[in-house]
Amino acid sequence: MRKIGQTLKERREELGYSLTSMSEKTRVPAAKLKAIEEGDFKYFENDITYLKFYVRYYCNAVHLNFDDFKAELETSMDEFSNTTKMLKMVELEEMQTRISGRSAKSSKRKNTSNTKKTRFDYSFWSFVSLVSLLSIALLLVLSFVVLPKILNQTEDPTNEVVEELPSPIVETPEETETVVVEVPKVLAIEQTSKTEYTLSGFTDAQEIQMLIHFKSNAYVSVNVDGVFTSNPASKKYTVGSTLDMKFNAKDTMVIEIYIGWMNGNSLSFNGLDVPLDTEIAKRTGSVTFTFTFKGA
């Protein structure tokens, strides 16, 4: 995990992003991004299920392939989980040992107390004997005098008292509320060929801002689902200018962008730079890019 975090940190710094700007880009709190970079599994002890999602978002944001890190990440997560379970077992055994020690001390104190109690004064035994004799005499009087009179008395059935049994208490099981944790969606761009891309991780009708920064003069036209846009209109853009287009994303949407002279110009969606093939980025000629939206 530490090696993965170091790779992500170096890539972030190479692209010129701070932790704060990367947090805004991935929508993952900066503290979690920092914990990932430092390989701090302890930070995610109560959030370990979502660690793979956070690492995937980070990889997408810095244009790295998550699959290259997936196996190593899963192995590290398994090792952390096993270590945590082992520590809890050791802690439980230590607790049981302490409880056993307390029980032994308590038993010893009880035996000592019993030994002391055997040292009675003989006068106490005399008193106990007298009370016992009086109790026996009283019991004989009750058995041979009082009890027969009570049994010979005629019982009146009308005076019987019927004890009403209480109604059984029926416990209603408490309903447990199921909490659903929604994993936030993060826009991702995947290059499928030199000039074709797939965009995912957006919500339906989410507003997307597309920017084209011009380092070379170029004629540009944009069409959405086969229809050329009027805003922005097809025209020539000069060095230092920017094409700014906002639209609502939807599944299966296809955007085609024709740039008459590439040579250093760059594109981005919601601040996420479009990865460009080296030959395409430096081409002194026209390029047509195709962006397909999937998975809203």
Residue with tokens 């019982």: 155
108, pLDDT greater than 70: no
233-240, long-range: CB within 8 Å, 24+ apart, which pairs? 236/260, 237/212, 238/214, 239/214, 239/215, 240/214
Q: How many helices (H) and strands (E) does the chain have?
A: 8, 11
Do residues 55 and 69 lie in contact, with contact meaning Cβ atoms separated by under 8 Å?
Answer: yes
What pairs with residue 199 in β-bridges? Answer: 189, 293
Q: Which of 253, 289, 244 is nearest to 271 (CA)?
A: 244
Residue with tokens 């020539």: 236
Which pLDDT belongs to residue 118? 46
Instruction: Report the C-alpha gap between 159 and 254 in whole angstroms.
Output: 94
What percent of the chain is predicted at pLDDT more than 70? 79
Helix axis angle, 30-37 to 2-15, nearest 10°: 120
Which pLDDT belongs to residue 99? 80
CATH topology of domain 1-113: 434 Repressor (Amino-terminal Domain) (1.10.260)
Under the banding of pLDDT at 50, 70 and 90, the label for residue 24 is very high
Q: Which of 226, 284, 268, 243 is nearest to 234 (CA)?
A: 243
What percent of the chain is predicted at pLDDT more than 90? 51
246: phi then psi, degrees, rounded to nearest 5 = -115, 140
The b/e string for 55-72 (b: 16+ C-beta within 10 A; e otherwise) is bbbbbbbbebeeeebeee
Question: 144: Cβ–Cβ under 8 A, 6 or more apart, which residues?
Answer: none
3-state secondary structure of 258: strand
207, pLDDT greater than 60: yes
Domain segments of the chain as ranges: 1-113, 188-293
Do residues 43 and 25 lie in contact, with contact meaning Cβ atoms separated by under 8 Å?
Answer: no
pLDDT digits (tens, 9 = 90+) for 118-127: 454 556 777 7
Tokens of 86: 């082992």
**Which strand (E) or helix (H) includes residue 197?**
strand 196-200
pLDDT digits (tens, 9 = 90+) for 135-154: 888 887 777 766 666 666 54
pTM of the model: 0.41
